[in-house]
Homo-oligomer: A and B are copies of this chain.
Amino acid sequence: MRLRALTKVSSLLIREGNNRMDLEPQKVVDEILNPILNKLYTSHTKAVDYKSPEELKQIIDFSLPDQTTSIDLKDIKQLIQNTFEFTPSTQHPFQFNYLYSKPDFVGVLGDWIISLINSNVHTYEASPVFSMAEVELIKNLAAIVGLGEDADGIFCPGGSYSNMMAVFLAKNRCIENEDIKEKELVIFKSEQAHYSIDKAATLLGIKPDNICRVSCDKKGRMQIRSLRRQIEGCLSADKKPACVCATSGTTVLGGFDPLDEISEALSDYGRIWLHVDAAWGGAVLMSAQHRHLMKGIERADSMTWDFHKALNAPILCSAFLVRSAISIKSMFHVYDSYLFHDSEPLRQYDLGRKTAQCGRRGDAFKLWLMWKVRGRSYFESRVDKSFKVTSEAIKLIKERTAFWLYDENPAFWNVCFYFVPEHLRHKDGIKACSEREKLELQAITKKLYKCLNKDGRVLVNYAEINGDPPFLRLIFGNPELSSEQIKDVFDIIESTGNIII
């Protein structure tokens, strides 16, 4: 059957009427977006201008009107400018608080296109280009990880979601096995693993007692002896060890669990799902020089890898990868016929089959565009440079008596240290401090964090671990940072410290 030639549809030629509620996109770009871009990329004021909710309410009227009489582009511009001004700047070179720095502008462009196209990446039919870009990405990522020919994966709205997928698949594999169907399932994570594992397990019905916390060494790495002990305890209680969630790049110390040793250990206890939460640390896989940190990753059953963290795609952009395609393809058996019309071989591009989402934003596309435009080697050079920047920072800290590093030689870009008041500087680090001195350091860290935030030139975080007093945690994930800038940052921290004590 041949359709007649496409005829013109007269009603489409009518330009849609402009009414008072219409915006001219071109005008919005000229009058709102361009000035913001111009300011954002040329000037650096403060990293943060922190306001309390009450103060913010004085500046921005958050209330939502029932009616508006007209649209004033100037008002919109002002709202948006205020939104930028009072949000801690992720663009700012002195933003060291978060696991991400300035978003890649190619990624931002990709994200803008995703919003403008506004398609839903559940079926090939609805989103052919986004679907194919995502499939291509998954293929390339799985190859970089080394998960083998049968690997598969899906992009998820955040690393917590990806981790949830892992726990679900691990649970599924147990439930399918008749012998262990009725046993209580247990999952294992290190005590420094991310709290999203606990949330995922709770969500999926794992009892709190069955979320086992394996102890870490001083660099934040899971201790194999402790893992073995916990698994053996679980087995002797006639429970089923369902999943070990290892971490590549812990949130606080940036520790990398020894994946090869974990795999080795697990092989002694039958089939246990090994998930690796590399939301933060996965970036090292892009680097020939640093991927040894994740040696053994190719033996994992699944992996979380966030590209909105160390590789600077805009938020969110999280990949969930699995060794065995069948585990993810068969995770649900419900597909509504109103949506999923495709038969094989198109079905492989119906990504909605591999997730608990229905509507999906095309988050993979921004990463695909970044990679397409810049090449994989760009990611490698970013990673290598950030390691260099971190080394530089460590060196500068060691030169100053005012700072004590928590880990003298961190594996990743997490730099954790104390600002130490003069009368304690002669001591041999935190371990040599009395309880009273530790309390003093705790108070100093928290006060310093607050003051730095208020000052606003440098944005830092603090964290605590192992019962030690909290320390400052700075993330050196911005490869563009110069030695001079790093020095300035430590000058600001040290001088602020000297003022507050």
Contacts and interface: CB of A to CB of B under 8 A. Distances in A.
Contacts of A75: 373
Interface string A193-211: 0111011101111000000
Nearest to A312: B118
A103 interface: yes
B108 A334 contact: no
A437 to B, nearest CB: 21
A139 B40 CA distance: 32
Contacts of A194: 336, 358
Contacts of A9: 94, 457, 488, 492
A125 B337 CA distance: 44
Which among A130, A157, A500 has the greatest number of chain B C-beta atoms within 10 A?
A: A157
Interface stretch (A64-72, A260-268, A387-395, A423-431): A64-72
Contacts of A97: 126
A495 to B, nearest CB: 8
Interface in A57-109: 57, 60, 62-68, 71, 75-76, 79-80, 82-84, 86-88, 90-91, 93-94, 97-98, 100, 103, 105-106, 108-109
A432 interface: no
A56 B129 contact: yes
Contacts of A480: 16
Nearest to A83: B129
A485 B361 contact: no
A251 B3 CA distance: 31
Nearest to A103: B118
A115 interface: yes
A334 B202 contact: yes
A419 to B, nearest CB: 15
A120 B98 contact: yes
A160 B161 CA distance: 13
B53 A346 contact: yes
Contact of A375 (B65, B94, B127, B160): B65
A251 B336 contact: yes
A372 interface: yes
Contacts of A129: 56, 60, 82-83, 86-87
Contact of A356 (B51, B118, B203): B203
A15 interface: yes
A405 interface: no
A316 interface: yes
A6 interface: yes
Contacts of A62: 132-133, 136, 368
Contact of A359 (B64, B160, B204, B488): B160
Contacts of A368: 62, 64
A37 interface: yes
A42 B16 CA distance: 9
24 contacts: A3-B451, A3-B499, A14-B485, A26-B34, A36-B113, A50-B125, A50-B128, A64-B368, A65-B372, A66-B375, A67-B375, A76-B373, A79-B369, A80-B369, A103-B116, A111-B111, A118-B315, A157-B158, A157-B357, A161-B356, A161-B357, A202-B332, A308-B359, A341-B449
Q: Which 7 A-B pairs have the closest CB atoms?
A: A157-B157, A205-B205, A111-B115, A338-B463, A68-B375, A11-B485, A198-B334
